[in-house]
Amino acid sequence: MSKIKVGILFGGRSVEHEISLRSAANVYKYIDKDQFEVVLVGIDKNGAWHLGLEPGAEFPEKDTELALRLDPEKKVLVSGGKEHRLDLVFPVLHGTDGEDGAVQGLLKAMEIPCVGSGVLGSALCMDKIFSKKMLEAQGLPVAKYLVGQRNNRAGLSFETVKETLGMPVIVKPAVLGSSVGVSKVTDASSWEAALDEAYAYDDRVLVEEFITGRELECAVIGNADPVASAPGEVIITGAHDFYSFDAKYVDKASETKIPADVTASEDAQIRECSVQAYKTLACEDFARVDIFLSEQGKVYVNEINTIPGFTDISMFPALWANEGIDYPSLLTKLINMALERSGAENKSGTHFESSLNRDK
């Protein structure tokens, strides 16, 4: 029996490029190579696609760029005149152009199955403002928030924020992950600098009330009937007072506790909120749901990551390991779910016989 040919897509133009390389290295390491033939496709910071480059290797300046052929019949990538057929692509891309529906749309046009959420779910979850509005409309608990626009910066004043949300607050770009561009504001002296940092990455910013409590993460997998893992907890250590990019990846100033020490009632509520958020935002195959548990015991949905990290410190694979699903088995499960979902989608009709097509 021939192996399923899986393209692992990594890198990208996003500011989260390096995190993608770390995640992809683990996916490549742990994928079951007895079942799957892997085709590595790296995207450099300029957006050029390179074939056969292992995660972490230097991107070449030329010669290995792929020429994309949008040929749904062949489902191929072309490099140097040689066709590379793919049965499925596993995007291990974080942030802009990879986690926002852009790559998912390209793969859909090529009719190549893709692990993870499609265009709609990816775009919704990537945009923190629209996802929060949808979660709120569905009755799911979210932190109070305000929205700012770069072209009307004065329209969101510190005084308005303080009066509406209180202090402290979290300021973040609307469409980035890994806590890039995120700041904590405690008083007027840090407000403008926080806006500068967020607007450096996006035209819109989200300002949220700071939830004093615990930061939890829940892993969800599935489609028709998604299931959630037991939550894990992120414990901030050292001088950091929130889960910033530096705390995550530079200083490694955090620890994880799996499973989190929560009551049975809290566990059930966290899992239920995670699954409902996953469904509300049209997620597919897998995602990680970030949750706040306040000091008063109230659960808040923070955000959803449709391509969570697969690094050595990432919570998503660790949460499933706690449930008895090891790394290779988890990857196999995700790939099989994507193939099964793709098969079901392909049974849907794509042609419509219209009188406009008939000769009059």
Sequence-distant (6+) residues with CB within 8 A of 85 are: 5, 74, 75, 76
Question: Which of 33, 19, 83, 24 has its CA nearest to residue 54?
Answer: 24
Residue 246: alpha-carbon gap to chain centroid: 19
- Is 16 catalytic? The answer is yes
| Catalytic member of 16, 208, 215, 233 | 16
Q: Considering just the CA atoms, what is the radius of gyration of the chain in Å? A: 21
Q: Is 58 annotated as a binding residue?
A: no
DSSP string, 117-140: --HHHHHHHH-HHHHHHHHHHTT-
- Is 314 catalytic? The answer is yes
CA–CA separation, 215 and 236 (whole Å):
9
- Is 54 catalytic? The answer is no
| Catalytic member of 14, 20, 183, 314 | 314
Sequence-distant (6+) residues with CB within 8 A of 37 are: 3, 4, 5, 6
| Catalytic member of 178, 229, 244, 274 | 178
User: Edge-to-edge strands of the sheet including 204-209?
Assistant: 145-149, 204-209, 169-173, 183-185
Residue 36: alpha-carbon gap to chain centroid: 24
Q: Is 303 annotated as a binding residue?
A: yes
CB contact at 8 A, 5 and 86? yes
Sort 331 into a burial class: Cβ within 10 Å, 0-12 / 13-18 / 19+: buried
Which residue ranges make up the annotated binding site for Mg(2+)?
290, 303, 305
* Active-site residue set: 16, 178, 314
